[in-house]
Structure formats: C-alpha cells, structure tokens
Structure 1
C-alpha cells in the first residue's frame, strides 16, 4: 500500500481531518513532545502506544513502515475508536493524538 492510499484510508476510517483541513487549522499550533503528551494522557487515564501501522490484506496482517499511534483507555483496557478499526491500527498521527487528549481535558473541565 503506497503512502497516498494509506493516507486516504486513514482519513476515511478516522473521519477526522483531511490534510488540507489540518493545515488550515493547525499550522500555528505548537505540538507537545511525545513524552509530555504521554504524561498528560496518563494523568487522565489514557496510554499512548507508538508503532508501525498494521492493516489487513486478504485476511493477512501487513506491516507498514509508517509510524502511527494508538490510544488506550486505561479504565477499560481498550483502544479508543478512530486510532484503529477492523482492518487497521496505529492510525493516528501525533497531532491527532494531541487533539484527542486536549478534547478529553476540555470535557473533564481540566486545564490543558
């Protein structure tokens, strides 16, 4: 699977941002380091996993060289929908993980 096709799958399954939307809304955003983001996530009950994107091709797992992230809800031990689906995992980019964690802080009424 080439990078362009993978990006289309990432967008289709996540329905989060197209790259054009992301650039228009985040080009001035300051990203956190993975270490800081992991600490912020853990503080509200989530764990981040970094790994290669996996996907199914004819019912066999295929490992991409592209890096992505999974977010695990520590209270249930399950991955957050969107960072995976029936055929892919490690789908989120670091900026998508940061956006998710920030949204959780807002929902909990906590300062990010």
Structure 2
C-alpha cells in the first residue's frame, strides 16, 4: 500500500508538471517579455523538480535494479536528470525570477 501511495504522488506530480508546461506554452506568446520570461522560468522550475522527484522515486521503487542497464528505468532516470539540468537548473531560474521581479519593482 505504501508503494501505491508513492506511485500516486508521482502521477500527481507528473500531472502538475504537465499543467505547468501547458501554462508555459500559453505564456510563450505573452507580449510582455518580463511576464513571458517569468512564466517560462516557473515552468522550468516545476518540470525540473518533478523530473528529479519522479526519477528518484522510480529508482527507489525498483531498488538497486533501478540504476542498471537491464531495466529501462535506468535510462529514463538519466534522461530525467539531463532534462532537469538542461537550460539552467531550478536555482538558476529562481535567481532569474528574482532579477525579473527586482527590475519590475525598480521600474514601478
């Protein structure tokens, strides 16, 4: 039962990331560059954190076999880790949002 709860948490996190990706895609056409950049950074933070969480949980659920080449989960974990790190990690995007917000406050 504990495993089922963990898998449900992974599904919920994946759905939240999917919603964030949809929001980011919609905001990509926003005429305000600051709002667009902020929304896309928030999207990247959510997707990166979800990729890391789901990947680590999947490996944990599979035990030591989760990191071997014998199971597909090892490949997926590496791919999710690469996705989380590409185009800036969560910390980089958090700093980017802080810069955008600071610029907006100083302009107001």
TM-score (norm: length of structure 1):
0.30
- Relative contact order (alpha carbons < 8 A, sep ≥ 6): 1 or 2 greater? 2
Q: Give the structure-2-normalised TM-score.
A: 0.30
Instruction: Please identify which structure carries the higher helix content.
Output: 2
